[in-house]
């Protein structure tokens, strides 16, 4: 789907010239914003929540099978370890490249110009203009 205008449908806002390349899913009724000139590859899954925003900035490239997961649980008692549900926002700032199969967890703010290597799991904030990789993702190097 290629948009040349801003689309607002329910709680989803899509900026100009966003490309959504099929077979992705948006779960939940939470807010989702995708900035202009952003590319969403096939198989991207966005788990939204009413209490948490997913914001993907302008000029971002999201690789195939990337997952954005806003929800989690507190650790419960031994009878049921997945305790009370929680949700935290995810912010991907402008110019980022999120590699294939990465997972971005709730509460994360990824700075502008970041590269997330394929298969990484981002569990904490990432400063601008770095490459992160691994499970959990850690800074591997500074980018120009």
Give the residue numbers marked as catalytic: 73
Between the alpha carbon of residue 95 and those of residues 35, 47, 58, 98, the distances in Å are 10, 22, 6, 10
Query: 130 is written with which tokens?
Result: 């770095």
Alpha-carbon distance 117 to 131, whole Å?
7
Q: 57 and 94 in contact (C-beta within 8 Å)?
A: yes
Residue with token string 């077979």: 23
């Amino acid at each position: 789907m290629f948009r040349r205008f801003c689309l607002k449908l329910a709680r989803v806002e899509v900026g100009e010239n966003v490309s959504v390349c099929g077979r992705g899913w948006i779960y939940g009724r939470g807010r989702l914003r995708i900035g202009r000139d952003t590319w969403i590859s096939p198989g991207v899954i966005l788990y939204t929540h009413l209490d948490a925003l997913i914001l993907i900035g302008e000029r971002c490239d999201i690789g195939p099978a990337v997952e954005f997961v806003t929800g989690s649980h507190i650790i419960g008692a031994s009878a049921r370890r997945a305790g009370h549900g929680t949700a935290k926002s995810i912010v991907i700032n402008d110019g980022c490249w999120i590699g294939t199969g990465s997972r971005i967890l709730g509460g994360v703010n990824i700075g502008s110009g970041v590269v997330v290597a394929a298969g990484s799991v981002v569990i904490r904030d990432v400063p601008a203009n770095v490459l992160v990789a691994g499970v959990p993702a850690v800074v591997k190097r500074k980018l120009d």
